[in-house]
Amino acid sequence: MKKILHLAFAAFLGASAFSSAHAASVSHVTQPLDVSKKAVSYGASFGSGLSGGLFTDKFSFSLAAGSSLQADVSSTAPLTRGLDITDFRLIGSNGQVLYTVNQVSTGIVDLWKINAGALSAGNYTLEIVGKVNSQFAGSYSGNLLVQTAAVPEADTYAMLLAGLGVVGVVARRRKSA
Amino acid sequence: MKKYTKFLVALLLAGAGAFAGAADLERNVALNLLDGTADFAPALEFAAGSQGKTFADSYSFTMTSNFDADSNVSWLSLGATTGLHLTNFDLYKVGGATPVLEGFQFPQNNLWLFSGSALSAGNYVIKVGGSVLTDQAITYSGNVVLSAVPEADTYAMMLAGFGVLGLLARRRKLGA
């Protein structure tokens, strides 16, 4: 009987050691996002049995021109079965945090938003940080919208110059007439 | 010739009738579930210039046991509009005319959700419908958790197990 108890205890210890080792990191590998169409959805799922697992998921993208962007991320039922999102931030190519926000809501749904203006062309990463809150599987989803800043193109300037030239010629002709 | 024209007009009218109520953009996608969870989005976003178009998307899945369901969809406002106008976000059992779970808007946010428990096993579909308000490219995304609830017979088995344990303890006590 004692032996059985010992065995049971050892098994329990083994199980708890396993589950605490499991609780370390459950992050996904970095996913690239194609922002060429200006609007893109993203998301990720975590299988069951990862309770307590922590994650920092990264979605990378590059901006071809100066832009502003908006992004959101949400997860249903964060307290009972979903994921608890604890941070949502935009990282620049040098690793510095450019924008981070407080969450919009928590409780029945976890929702976070970023509004970032005046970003120069370059590489960026969206980071979603959180924790798996239950033995159930869970997922989050989000959207990213990119708006290119209205910078005049080279041909716009060319047209302006041409227009000025025409005005100059007309003025000159009128004067000489 | 006149007869022909009449026939054509009738055909056109019939066609219009058949398509009345159909959305401009319809997508039917099977959810790619991982242990009962998935994130989902329209495979193609609404491209710039989709303003005024209506959409009706379906995301289907099958559950083999009773389950609880929690889901939400969200999108971002764009310019002066809320980007998209959602009219429905519901869970239907395949073949059912009315939703099993009706989604509602999370106050003051571009987010709808539904939540329900003890739904019966079967084929289901999440339906997302609405229209595009912005003339720029936009999309939405959602996530769902479908968690199996233990069946009545699982509880019965647990009770039976307790019974056996009790009997053993009693026998041991008597034997000692």
Domains, chain B, in order of start with CATH, read 21-175 (2.60.120.380)
Residue with the larger pLDDT of the pair B110 and B156? B110
- What pLDDT does A105 receive? 73
Of A86-90, A127-131, B80-84, B120-124, give the lowest mean pLDDT range: B80-84
- What pLDDT does A145 receive? 95
Of B38, B71, B139, the CB nearest to A45: B38
What are the average pLDDT values for consecutive 10-residue runs of chain A, which has 177 residues? 50 46 78 94 93 95 94 85 89 90 78 91 96 90 90 73 89 83
What is the three-class DSSP state of B8? Answer: helix
Q: What is the rounded distance in angstroms from the CA atom of residue A167 to the CA atom of residue A57?
A: 57
Q: With a cut of 90, say whether residue B78 has pLDDT above it.
A: no
Instruction: Name chain A contacts of B137, Cβ cutoff 8 Å.
Output: 37-39, 145
Distance (Å) from the alpha carbon of B8 to chain A's nearest alpha carbon: 41
Instruction: Name chain A contacts of B110, Cβ cutoff 8 Å.
Output: 72
Digit-coded pLDDT (tens) for B32-49: 999 999 999 997 789 999
- What pLDDT does B155 receive? 74
Of B37, B75, B137, the CB nearest to A139: B37
Digit-coded pLDDT (tens) for B133-142: 999 999 999 9
Please name the helix (run of DSSP H) or strand (run of DSSP E) that holds residue B132, with its range, or none: strand B122-132
CB A33 within 8 A of CB A100: no
Domain boundaries, chain A: 24-150
What is the three-class DSSP state of A40? Answer: strand
Does the distance separating the beta carbons of B34 and A137 come in below 8 Å?
A: yes
Does the distance separating the beta carbons of A137 and B147 come in below 8 Å?
A: yes
Any B CB within 8 A of A123 CB: no
Question: Nearest 5°: phi and psi at A112?
Answer: -130, 145
- What pLDDT does B52 receive? 94
Q: With a cut of 90, say whether residue B4 has pLDDT above it.
A: no
Does the distance separating the beta carbons of B109 and A138 come in below 8 Å?
A: no
Of A81, A105, A140, the CB nearest to B70: A81
**What is the CATH architecture of A24-150?**
Sandwich (2.60)
For A44, the closest chain B residue by CA position comes to B39
- What pLDDT does A4 receive? 52
Residue with the larger pLDDT of the pair A134 and B62? B62
Residue with the larger pLDDT of the pair B173 and B2? B173
Average pLDDT estimate for B78-106: 93
Does the distance separating the beta carbons of B142 and A141 come in below 8 Å?
A: yes
- What pLDDT does B10 receive? 54
Q: What is the ipTM of this complex?
A: 0.75
Does the distance separating the beta carbons of B37 and A41 come in below 8 Å?
A: no
Question: Nearest 5°: phi and psi at B114?
Answer: -140, 155
Instruction: Name chain B contacts of A140, Cβ cutoff 8 Å.
Output: 39, 143
- What pLDDT does A151 receive? 60
- What pLDDT does B123 receive? 97
Does the distance separating the beta carbons of A105 and B40 come in below 8 Å?
A: no
Tell me A23's DSSP state: T
Q: With a cut of 90, say whether residue B115 has pLDDT above it.
A: yes
Any B CB within 8 A of A88 CB: no
Confidence of residue B11 (pLDDT cuts 50, 70, 90): low
Closest to A117 (Cα-Cα) out of A83, A68, A151, A82: A68
What's the start-to-end Cα distance of chain B, in Å? Answer: 106
Bridge partners of A60, per DSSP, are A32, A125
Does the distance separating the beta carbons of A41 and B141 come in below 8 Å?
A: yes
Q: What is the rounded distance in angstroms from the CA atom of residue A126 to the CA atom of residue B168?
A: 58
